[in-house]
Amino acid sequence: MAGPLASFALVVGLLTLTPGLDTALILRTAVLGRRRQAWGVVLGIQTGTLVWGTASAAGISVLLTASRLAYETLRWAGVCYLLWTGVRMLRERHPRRDGAGDGSDSGDRDGDGDGSDDGSDDGAGGWWAGWRRGTLTNLLNPKVGVFYVAVLPPFIPAGAPHLAAGVLLTSVHVAEGLLWSAALIAFAHTLRARLRRPAVRRLLDRATGVAVLGFGAKLALGD
């Protein structure tokens, strides 16, 4: 099992490092200072990954490739969700805070002295909102399910318990995703002091919103 495990870790590791929708959502949330919400997004994404991997190992996600209706239904649900999310980001407002122009660190509302509110700035609902966004973004993307249907089975050794081996391999993907996400959040946190101004935040929302809309359009076109 060690050989297939290492090979699978390499494949999904390269996939994890490839910039995409997950990376954009995590960075945008973390740079805005919403650390709890950013971790919610991360855990939501990994929840979706675990569900897809388990479903593939159990043979459930084969329905996506066997049933055109199931695939199309999930695909268009994902398109609608991504477009809705992108529009919300484009319309989000970041009002100027008191003391923003006098050098005071009004963002340090958790009292830890690091300039971070550690999630207190989560006007959209904190950890739970992040988890919900990450989970839905992942589960409503049928291409993740198709990826697992195509990639997971070849790495399960003959004679191994199919479900247990599939969950183990998926857990490797989840672990790599968590490590990479932790690095992204740490990087974003170092930039937060420079990107705290409302104008910069609005620009970040615009850029991420456009990216999310682009992913939604790509999913709609079936590319």
User: Is 105 domain-assigned?
Assistant: no
Confidence check: pLDDT of 174 > 90: yes
Q: Is residue 144 part of a domain?
A: yes
Q: Please check whether residue 45 lies inside any domain of the structure.
A: yes
Looking at every residue in the chain, the average pLDDT score rounds to: 78
Q: In this structure, is residue 179 part of a structural domain? A: yes
Task: Determine what percent of the chain is predicted with pLDDT higher than 70.
Answer: 77
Please, are residues 34 and 119 in contact by the beta-carbon 8 Å criterion? yes
In whole angstroms, what is the distance from residue 195 CA to residue 191 CA? Answer: 6
Q: Does residue 163 register a pLDDT over 50?
A: yes
DSSP structural state of residue 154? G
Whether 127 is covered by a domain: the verdict is yes
Q: What is the average per-residue pLDDT within 148-159?
A: 82
Short-list 6, 49, 57, 53, CA closest to 178: 49
Q: Any idea what DSSP says for residue 155?
A: G
Q: Please check whether residue 215 lies inside any domain of the structure.
A: no
Please enumerate, as own/partner, the contacts of 199-208 that have beta carbons within 8 Å and a separation of 24 or more: 201/32, 201/94, 202/92, 202/93, 202/94, 204/28, 204/31, 204/32, 205/28, 205/89, 205/90, 205/92, 205/94, 206/89, 206/90, 208/24, 208/25, 208/27, 208/28, 208/89
- Residue, of 159 and 64, whose pLDDT is higher: 159
pLDDT in tens, 97-143: 444 444 444 444 443 334 444 444 445 568 999 999 999 999 988 88
Torsion over CA: 13, 17, 22, 27 (sign): positive
d(CA 116, CA 112): 8
Average pLDDT over residues 130-157: 86
Query: Does the pLDDT value for residue 193 go beyond 70?
Result: no
pLDDT of residue 47: 96
Would you say 94 and 198 are in contact if contact means Cβ atoms under 8 Å apart? yes
Looking at residue 40, its pLDDT comes to: 95
Is 95 a member of any domain? no
What pLDDT was estimated at residue 61?
65
Counted domains in the chain: 1
Domain of residue 65, residue span: 2-13+21-78+117-196
What pTM was computed for the model? 0.74
Is 85 a domain residue? no
- Summarize pLDDT for 14-62 with one digit per residue, the tens: 888 888 888 888 988 888 778 899 999 999 999 999 999 998 888 776 6
Which pLDDT value is given to residue 111?
A: 37
Distance CA(18)–CA(201), nearest Å, equals 24
E strand residue ranges, the chain: none
Look at residues 101, 130, 152, 113 and name the one whose alpha carbon lies nearest to residue 32: 130
Residue 33 sits at φ, ψ, to 5 deg, of: 90, 5
Confidence at residue 100, expressed as pLDDT on a 0 to 100 scale = 42
Residue 77 has pLDDT above 90, yes or no: no
